[in-house]
A and B are shown apart, each in its own frame.
Chain A
């Protein structure tokens, strides 16, 4: 993946958030203030626009700039968390113009760590992290098996989807859903839904879908 492909990934993410806007609004409306669909579509659109307008070849710098653009466009809780992911990935990948399978895994790991450092949640707290963590584990497993990028990405997308589905049953500890206490267990986490969309869309790009 080079800077151009990274910018294309951001554009795909913006499109998939736009396509899933109503579903995210519905999911978030069950417990939250139902603005997640708007936040994610506007946020990734701002990030994609920033990257598309730039000649920057450094993927790290590009990701950092895209994250900042998102943070300015949607300074809500989830907007800032996703921006933190992009910005942290940007810091971690500074100076990199090409990302191989290892590099792309590093991108998602740094994204994950940026979100976690900002939100201070742990896996199992029914958040975005519970969608992305299983995908990261799948990527690491595929890398150590010496697999090619395509099967790694497919396995990661499936793992993210499963992780999202497994948020039903988890007790929410953060955000508005936590106010529901034990009743929060019956809901799917909208943040984890975003994680599943991000990984699935990346896998589609990797496999030429």
Chain B
């Protein structure tokens, strides 16, 4: 393990101390617990948006707390869910009387804890909480009709944060913000490729084995098994393999518009992401799809894992409006055009 840390046990608390020290005007915490991060600025009457999840994915999840995005985030240890008490503390701190919407990724531990936090918020404090669970990784199986979503939540949740965040900032009520978040979820698909493993500091060795000349299409951000492992291909061949499962999963017709996210998993340079983007743009053009907005960079990582993911969101007038809205967090800024 080769990491710039002081000790595995202090890794996340010290990361948080650094984040609060660097962004004292933008971020603060609810009570004494650094794991309960909230926007330092309050907006009376606004629906509160909270997320949460394990650490190791920056800028996911806490990086999207700020103006035009989320109001709070409960932070767990590396790849571990935060506790319901921490989620509840965030919920209480961000409730402005209009209720709170939880938006988080589709993982059992997070679901159980957010559900418990929502019950405690209602039962103990009378705060109305709704939840939207994002799961859009096409490498994991789609749900059977009538079953809850079984897909993992990965980088595409960024689009959900962006649209729901803009809707809440525009003053929409809880049910409407939830509808926008669900609409974004329903229109996002993601697929990833991993070239190397990450290492959880407390474990000290790589989470999975993968040979130097291998890649795995569809691997999850915690090393969940993907669709196909094989020899590393060229950038164009990788994108040619990744694009169809995404495109075939969305109801897209020629002339439709999409927002694009090419996301680095932590150990892959931005240059390579743009080489991938180049090929993806060619494919989208061939399909007659218009790119409305593009995001290229690190939006959801898996520590030092090398690899990337591609997310597409089919957009209509409403989602385009929310996508265009201004956002300002320490980790993500977008100016109104």
Contact = CB atoms under 8 A, between A and B. Distances in A.
B109 A75 contact: yes
Contact of B112 (A72, A77, A91, A179): A77
A102 interface: no
Given A71-B116, A75-B80, A118-B115, A174 B85 contact: no
B225 A179 contact: yes
Nearest to A83: B116
B108 A75 contact: no
Interface string B110-121: 001101100010
A175 B84 contact: no
A81 B112 CA distance: 7
Nearest to B203: A33
Interface string B63-86: 000000000000010001111111
A119 interface: yes
Given A80-B112, A80-B113, A75 B225 contact: no
For chain B, the bracket of interface size reads: 10 to 19
Nearest to B119: A87
Contacts of B113: 71, 75, 80
B84 A72 contact: yes
A119 B112 contact: yes
Nearest to A80: B112
Contacts of A77: 108-109, 112
Interface in A127-185: 174-175, 179
Interface in A58-89: 68, 71-73, 75-77, 80-81, 83-84, 87
A118 B225 contact: no
Contacts of B120: 68
Which of the listed residues B84, B112, B113, B115 has the most CB atoms from chain A within 10 Å of its own CB? Answer: B112
Nearest to B79: A33
A75 B115 contact: no
B239 to A, nearest CB: 27
A146 B263 CA distance: 65
A91 B116 CA distance: 13
Contacts of B85: 68, 71-72
Given A80-B116, A118-B115, A175 B108 contact: yes
Contacts of B109: 75-77, 80
Contacts of A71: 83-85, 113, 116
A174 B109 CA distance: 12
Interface string A103-128: 00000000000000011100000000
Interface of B: 76, 80-86, 108-109, 112-113, 115-116, 120, 123, 148, 225
Interface of A: 68, 71-73, 75-77, 80-81, 83-84, 87, 91, 118-120, 174-175, 179
- Nearest first, the 5 A-B pairs at minimum CB distance are A75-B83, A80-B112, A72-B85, A72-B83, A77-B109
Given A72-B85, A77-B109, 8 more contacts: A71-B84, A72-B86, A75-B82, A75-B113, A80-B81, A80-B84, A80-B112, A87-B116
26 contacts: A68-B84, A68-B120, A71-B83, A71-B85, A71-B113, A71-B116, A72-B83, A72-B85, A73-B83, A75-B76, A75-B80, A75-B81, A75-B82, A75-B83, A75-B113, A76-B80, A76-B109, A77-B108, A80-B81, A80-B112, A80-B113, A83-B116, A87-B116, A91-B123, A118-B112, A119-B108
